[in-house]
Structure 1
């Protein structure tokens, strides 16, 4: 199956390992991965801050980029996928119905990585091995906005040697929320502090998530508190093999 890969800004600039492992994982599962170099930011930071009109040119660029073929588009971040799936609404709001129609066709082809693997490829066991105890953090964009709850867990449950641990208030936001963590820094700080406290009570070897932004936020707090918990994106986990 031919698949477009949407790298996202954070994976491209900060966490290249997530991008690399996403591509390798898709290839391992039989996909031919296509990277369209014209792709850019989805505009999420501007959209979340209310600068929708200013984000329109970048949104149009992304739509044009993925119109060159009709293959599925896979991204390792639910927050970006959710932003793009709302493009039609934004274009409609600014009286650009033709762009709204074009954007809808693109939005319908966008998938979070775990959603694509489980619901399109029909795979839950990718043959990964990682020994230890782990806590999975369900990011708000993935679980609340996109409704992708079971897919990441079903993939992790099939990782050989990995034990998933429950924690108190597991569904609670980590406090990142994009620009929320900047505008409401004190509240955000208390939220991630509480999240790390619950993680620490479980004493895991790993913290696993499917959104780089949330993982960066929690990892920062873990490091400041001197916690020896390895933070991993699910794409990195699913590419682990028995040594």
Structure 2
């Protein structure tokens, strides 16, 4: 299958290893992966802060950059939700029939990584090896907008060597929420403190999630409290093999 990776601007800028892991994983499973260089931002930051019209060029750019692929895979539930939920509506609001058509062609092919692996490729055992105690934080966008359910957990349970432990109150928000963490910093910090308390109670060596934005937020607090718990994206766990430890 010819797959395009939408790495997202956050990952490209701050967590390039997640994009690289996604490519390694998909190629290991036998698929061709391209990285369209014309890709930019999905527009979520602009849209969520009220710059609705300024989001239109990003919607147009996304539809053009990812046209012609069998699937578009992204290691970000947050960005996948923005594309699938809002790009079609923004295109309609713009009143550009051509744009609406291009968006309608691309959007159904956009998948968050765990969705693509489980629903499209039909795999849960991807040949991963990660010999650590891990707990998983399901992000708000993955739960409430994409409804990925237990797909990430089904993938993690098949990883050899992993000690996967349940995170108490896992479905509670970590407090990041993009600009929410800036506009409501005290509330955000309190929510994050609760999340960190629950993470530390598991005795996990690593906290895993499908969104680096949440991992960045929680990871900062884990570091400041000297918890010894590191953060790792789902793609990086699934891409890891025994050869990496040789």
TM superposition score normalised by structure 2: 0.95
Q: Distance in 2 between matches of 1:126 and 1:72?
A: 18
Q: Distance in 1 between matches of 2:52 and 2:75?
A: 23
Alignment match, 1:134:
134
Pairing 1:79–2:78 present: yes
Deviation of 1:133 (Å): 1.5
Deviation of 1:70 (Å): 3.4
Tell me the SS of whatever aligns to 1:168: coil
Pairing 1:106–2:109 present: no
Alignment match, 1:184:
184
Deviation of 1:73 (Å): 0.4
Q: Distance in 2 between matches of 1:233 and 1:226?
A: 20
Tell me the SS of whatever aligns to 1:169: coil
Q: Distance in 2 between matches of 1:23 and 1:17?
A: 10
Q: Which runs of 5+ in 1 are unaligned?
A: none
Tell me the SS of whatever aligns to 1:19: helix
Alignment match, 1:236:
236
Tell me the SS of whatever aligns to 1:74: strand
Q: Distance in 1 between matches of 2:107 and 2:59?
A: 11
Instruction: Tell me, yes or no, if the aligned pair for 1:88 and 1:101 is still in contact at 8 Å.
Output: no
Moved more, 127-136 or 12-21: 127-136
Pairing 1:47–2:55 present: no
Pairing 1:21–2:18 present: no
Q: Distance in 2 between matches of 1:34 and 1:129?
A: 25
Instruction: Tell me, yes or no, if the aligned pair for 1:133 and 1:205 is still in contact at 8 Å.
Output: yes
Deviation of 1:103 (Å): 1.0
Deviation of 1:64 (Å): 1.2
TM superposition score normalised by structure 1: 0.96
Residues 27-176 of structure 1 mapped to structure 2, 5 A cutoff: 27-67=27-67, 69-85=68-84, 86-176=86-176
Q: Distance in 2 between matches of 1:240 and 1:91?
A: 39
Deviation of 1:93 (Å): 2.6
Q: Distance in 1 between matches of 2:210 and 2:172?
A: 15
Instruction: Tell me, yes or no, if the aligned pair for 2:137 and 2:167 is still in contact at 8 Å.
Output: no
Superposed CA offset, 1:164-193 (max 9, x none): 212321101111111111111111111111
Give the count of matched residue pairs.
242
Deviation of 1:109 (Å): 0.8
Q: Distance in 1 between matches of 2:59 and 2:185?
A: 28
Runs of 4+ with deviation above 4 angstroms: none
Q: Which runs of 5+ in 2 are unaligned?
A: none
